Amino acid sequence: MASAAMTTVSTGSIASYHAQAGLGTKSKPLGVNFGNKCCFKAFSGLKAALSINMEAETSFLGKESTFALQASLFPKLGASQKITNQLQPHAFQKITNQLQPHASTFKVAILGAAGGIGQPLALLIKMSPLVSALHLYDIANVKGVAADLSHCNTPSQVLDFTGPQELANCLKGVDVVVIPAGVPRKPGMTRDDLFNINANIVKTLVQAVADNCPDAFIHIISNPVNSTVPIAAEVLKQKGVYNPKKLFGVTTLDVVRANTFVAQKKNLKLIDVDVPVVGGHAGITILPLLSKTRPSTTFNDKEVEELTVRIQNAGTEVVEAKAGAGSATLSMAYAAARFVESSLRALDGDGDVYECTFIQSDLTELPFFASRVKLGKEGVEAVLSVDFQGLTEYEEKALEALKPELKASIEKGVAFVQKHPVASASAL
């Protein structure tokens, strides 16, 4: 498969952001209910609401946005006229029907589904209204996970697959493959320490993906992501099916943490906060661009330093708190589910999906780099450079400082596959 070049977009703003609901960034409200006293009418999985109250004090949109939205939905009545279900039952029903989510249509596979990340991730994906089939793979203990999840009354069918002999069947016809497989970090262990173990796991699994569902979106969670994504790319290249638009390193947890920590620090509504995080997914290669925080927020030098260091070391914070009992599994599952949901929305035709992710990129001289991208049906539609315009001196220096470490990690991943070429399909 020929590698198509991705578009780099440099604009003054990034499209239009909508009210945030559920895990996906700036998800569109699925239904609009003017005058209902209950903010959420129903919960349908990761897309949080079928109905959003536009007049309650806790509405995601302010009163001005409410009137504007009313005017756009009912232009003949004007923005100032209050609209209720009772006054406009037929019009409201028509709009609500138009905004309903599509029926579940996509197949998702989780490779490493019995692990600490895999299990909560499987639960969250099972809740998505866009998933028709959830395939769970691991080398052991996955049957019980599948049986447990299959009792949840959401539409997707859950199937389990155990061991290499069942991996091909797990992957056939899948639209999105998520790979959290591998060993977790332990106290005192860096992401680099994980390399020799997890590199071979990722290489083997991506070989199977290349043979059975080469057109699927591939989400790499297994650490160190700075190396495992290049490993996956090299495997796909050797298999002749590499499409850089469909290979993603999941760095969403860095964004989730940045949003959370900034909201706490500045006493902001978390649902409104959006901090782009660029670079890589380990230590100093994680660079939150605090100057690009939305809504526009001012930080003093001390706050910038403290927040940046905490975001970079947040994984270690969890590892040490768990004292040998594991790493950041729950927050990672949450972040990964958000990225899966964003991918599914893009596959479903949503034209307003943006996420930060580690991909093949020409934003810098490095072959891979994490930045905000626009997702579409074919994967990455555009790499957005707007976040890199007008960086602070601190961010400029941090950007240059991260490059040598990120470059070394990328090269390590590439060298691993070149030293251990992929096997043919018959040899797996």
Domains of the chain (ranges; CATH) run 252-408 (3.90.110.10)
Residue type, 407: K
3-state secondary structure of 119: helix
Lowest mean pLDDT among 27-36, 90-99, 392-401: 27-36
Residue 367 in contact with residue 230, Cβ under 8 Å?
yes
What is the predicted pLDDT for the residue at 187? 67
Compute and round to an integer the Cα radius of gyration of the chain.
22
Q: Is the pLDDT of residue 77 over 50?
A: no
What is the predicted pLDDT for the residue at 129? 94
Model confidence at 96, in pLDDT bands (50, 70, 90)? very low
For residue 399, CA distances in Å to 1, 203, 250, 286, 393 come to 33, 29, 20, 9, 10
Listed in order, strand segments (DSSP E) in 150-246 are 157-162, 176-179, 217-220
Q: Per-residue pLDDT tens for 191-218?
A: 667 788 899 999 999 999 999 999 999 9
Centroid of chain to Cα 406: 21
Whole-angstrom Cα distance, residue 66 to residue 15? 20
Lowest mean pLDDT among 22-26, 28-32, 223-227, 248-252: 28-32
Residue 46 in contact with residue 58, Cβ under 8 Å?
no
281 belongs to the catalytic site: yes
Q: Is the pLDDT of residue 223 over 80?
A: yes
Q: Choose the catalytic residue: 90, 151, 219, 281.
A: 281
Model confidence at 68, in pLDDT bands (50, 70, 90)? very low
Phi-psi region of 78 (alpha: psi -120 to 50; beta: other; left: phi over 0): left
* Sign of CA pseudo-dihedral 77, 81, 83, 87: negative
What is the predicted pLDDT for the residue at 71? 42
136's tokens: 């769970």
Listed in order, strand segments (DSSP E) in 209-332 are 217-220, 247-249, 277-279, 286-288
Q: Is the pLDDT of residue 151 over 90?
A: yes
